[in-house]
Chain A
Amino acid sequence: MTQRVANALSRPLPYPQPESDFYWQKCKQHELWLRWCKDCNRSYFYPRDICPECFSRNTHWVKSSGRATLHTFAVVHRAPIPALRDRAPYVVAIVELEGGARLPTSLVRVEKDPKALMALIGKKDALEVAFEDVSETISLPVFGPAQQ
């Protein structure tokens, strides 16, 4: 019930859990780390000990380059909660990180025009990670056009 009240008034934040504590600690330091399966030789999201592809526990943390390709998006005009209303319209997206894993996120510094966003889809590593500090403990990874 506490959560319910908090949601209505402020931006809800992620709940770090044992499996994702490290992920959020690194986000706080503005670094993006992913779990890597040594058996599949690939990274995956979200962070958990077990590889979702082969169920192996032979997994460890690796640092992501932060470069990503836009996979899909939506332009939110009607914010779901009051705390996000000032941001609308805003762009949420799924990006594919260099190294394979896909991540749900928001896009920043982009044109909020669907046509421009459709054109950005699939452009290899055209995006790079940035971090939005939203609380003392939480920084959210967001993506914008790569600088170089």
Chain B
Amino acid sequence: MREVAIVGANMIKFGRYPDKFVDELAAEAAVGALKDAGISAKEVQVLVSGNLRQPMTGQRITRHIGMTGVPIVNVVNNCATGSTAFRDAYLMVATGLYDVALVVGSEQLGKMGLLGGGGGDPYDRVYPTEGYAGSETMPTVFAQAGVEHMRKYGTTIEQFAKIAVKNHKHGTLNPYAQYQIETPLEMVLNARMISWPNTLYMCCPTGDGAAAAIIMPLERARRHTAMPIKVAASVLTSDPWSERDLAVDDVNTLTRKAAQEAYGQAGLGPKDLDMVELHDCFATPELLHYENLGLCADGEGGRMIDEGRTYNGGDIPVNVSGGLLSKGHPLGATGVANIVEVTWHLRGQAGPRQVQGAKVGLAHVIGVGAACTIHILTK
């Protein structure tokens, strides 16, 4: 396996684009990534496109950026769609198959999305044995996971709410975030209850977005940029069987497995991380993932947010982009956007939200159903 590096990274501001088609959004992100890498579409040898609900988006992108006849792969892996596309491209380059890969993650959600649950949603068929009692909808899966943590460690709804306060505060500094509004603790706690313990501001918004990256073997990358960002680990897991994993996914086990493998691959540990972008589709899982990723010991997640350790400037900043809660979560775009965000910080290009001196960053995504990716990037 060859070492692989990110040479180009770009995303569009997440939000609502009712007047545009998803391939236009995706192409905009792709053109930006090509420009950032300083290459033309003619140099791209393979395109991997992550998009959950709009089939054949990869091919549609090339109608905007140039149809060169290269292989195009369209990837679907629920919320981990974009990051799985990135990993596929990474593997193609690492194994020596191609030298220049373009990865694009995109999605147009409109008003459907995570609260939608029904209505032709890909989650429909995940839990056929339950019927539609409600536990298979995303807010409930992650609410139940939060309640498990409460019963085990006495975690409080205030502690979960503080995650939303933090991520929205971070989001105010990110021009690419869908929302730039602060949500003080009282505002989060008093907001409309969606699925106890998660209130409205503890659920990510739905929206549209796109993000793209250009990757190359490290040797070649060095000829294109003075700041290649190395992919030190690329891991994909599915749910290993556990008692918790009945017909509803356990959001913990596959993250723990992925973290262990990623740290092994990179030869690094959680103590070496300068920043983390993790999958806070709701406030509850972020706190759980502090422990799943080894950022703190089991049962310490609540204290970690109480002490503000995951704020930018704290000892391990988490979701300085605003996270999914504030930045938004256009499903197929999310996984690539996390990698773009970490890349920008490692290059020192993140503006007012820059994590000072960031050299190592981790990007984590979960797709319920289940798929988990972890990428560790280094300067």
Check: B120 CB closer than 8 A to any chain A CB. yes
Asked whether A104 lies within 8 Å of B196 as measured between CB atoms, the reply is no
Asked whether B246 lies within 8 Å of A46 as measured between CB atoms, the reply is yes
| Interface hits, A15-37 → B, CB 8 Å | 15, 17, 20, 23
Asked whether B133 lies within 8 Å of A45 as measured between CB atoms, the reply is no
- Among A46, A74, A83, A122, which residue has its beta carbon within 8 angstroms of that of B143? A74
* B98 / chain A contacts, CB cutoff of 8 Å: none
- Among B124, B125, B140, B192, which residue has its beta carbon within 8 angstroms of that of A92? B140
Asked whether B144 lies within 8 Å of A77 as measured between CB atoms, the reply is no
Interface size class of B (residues with CB under 8 A): 35 or more
CA distance A89 to B115 in the complex (A): 15
Given contacts A7-B124, A73-B147, are A13 and B133 in contact (CB under 8 A)? Answer: no
- Among B125, B195, B246, which residue has its beta carbon within 8 angstroms of that of A102? B246
Asked whether B118 lies within 8 Å of A80 as measured between CB atoms, the reply is yes
Check: B267 CB closer than 8 A to any chain A CB. no
* A20 / chain B contacts, CB cutoff of 8 Å: 128-129
Asked whether B129 lies within 8 Å of A47 as measured between CB atoms, the reply is yes
Given contacts A47-B129, A52-B241, A104-B247, are A92 and B120 in contact (CB under 8 A)? Answer: no
Given contacts A1-B120, A75-B196, are A12 and B132 in contact (CB under 8 A)? Answer: yes
Most interface-central of A8, A14, A17, A122 (chain B CB within 10 A): A14
Asked whether B246 lies within 8 Å of A80 as measured between CB atoms, the reply is no
Asked whether B119 lies within 8 Å of A93 as measured between CB atoms, the reply is no
Give the nearest-CB partner of B245 in chain A: A52
Nearest CB of A to B120, in Å:
4
- Among A1, A13, A90, A122, which residue has its beta carbon within 8 angstroms of that of B131? A13
Contact with A along B147-159 (1 / 0, CB 8 A): 1101100000000
Given contacts A71-B148, A79-B134, are A46 and B247 in contact (CB under 8 A)? Answer: yes
Asked whether B128 lies within 8 Å of A80 as measured between CB atoms, the reply is no
Contact with B along A124-141 (1 / 0, CB 8 A): 000000000010001010
Check: B344 CB closer than 8 A to any chain A CB. no
CA distance A17 to B135 in the complex (A): 20
* A13 / chain B contacts, CB cutoff of 8 Å: 131-132
Asked whether B196 lies within 8 Å of A74 as measured between CB atoms, the reply is yes
Nearest CB of B to A84, in Å:
6
Asked whether B246 lies within 8 Å of A101 as measured between CB atoms, the reply is yes
Given contacts A46-B246, A77-B194, are A105 and B117 in contact (CB under 8 A)? Answer: no
* B243 / chain A contacts, CB cutoff of 8 Å: 100, 102
Nearest CB of B to A78, in Å:
5
Asked whether A104 lies within 8 Å of B117 as measured between CB atoms, the reply is no
* B119 / chain A contacts, CB cutoff of 8 Å: 4, 7-8, 81
Asked whether A14 lies within 8 Å of B129 as measured between CB atoms, the reply is yes
Asked whether B246 lies within 8 Å of A103 as measured between CB atoms, the reply is yes
* A83 / chain B contacts, CB cutoff of 8 Å: 132
Asked whether A78 lies within 8 Å of B148 as measured between CB atoms, the reply is no
Give the nearest-CB partner of B114 in chain A: A80
Check: A38 CB closer than 8 A to any chain B CB. no
Check: A86 CB closer than 8 A to any chain B CB. no
Nearest CB of A to B113, in Å:
11
* A44 / chain B contacts, CB cutoff of 8 Å: 246
Nearest CB of A to B55, in Å:
14
Given contacts A72-B148, A73-B147, are A102 and B128 in contact (CB under 8 A)? Answer: no
CA distance A92 to B247 in the complex (A): 13
Given contacts A76-B139, A78-B139, are A23 and B129 in contact (CB under 8 A)? Answer: yes
Check: B136 CB closer than 8 A to any chain A CB. yes
- Among A77, A94, A118, which residue has its beta carbon within 8 angstroms of that of B193? A77
Give the nearest-CB partner of B284 in chain A: A74
CA distance A46 to B245 in the complex (A): 10
Asked whether B132 lies within 8 Å of A84 as measured between CB atoms, the reply is yes
Give the nearest-CB partner of A107 in chain B: B133
Asked whether B124 lies within 8 Å of A76 as measured between CB atoms, the reply is no
CA distance A98 to B241 in the complex (A): 20
Asked whether A14 lies within 8 Å of B131 as measured between CB atoms, the reply is yes
Give the nearest-CB partner of B125 in chain A: A15
Check: B369 CB closer than 8 A to any chain A CB. no
CA distance A90 to B124 in the complex (A): 20
CA distance A2 to B31 in the complex (A): 38
Extra A-B contacts (5), CB below 8 Å, given A75-B196, A76-B195? A46-B246, A77-B196, A80-B115, A121-B147, A142-B133
The 5 A-B residue pairs with the shortest CB-CB distance in the complex, in nearest-first order? A80-B117, A74-B143, A4-B120, A75-B196, A81-B118
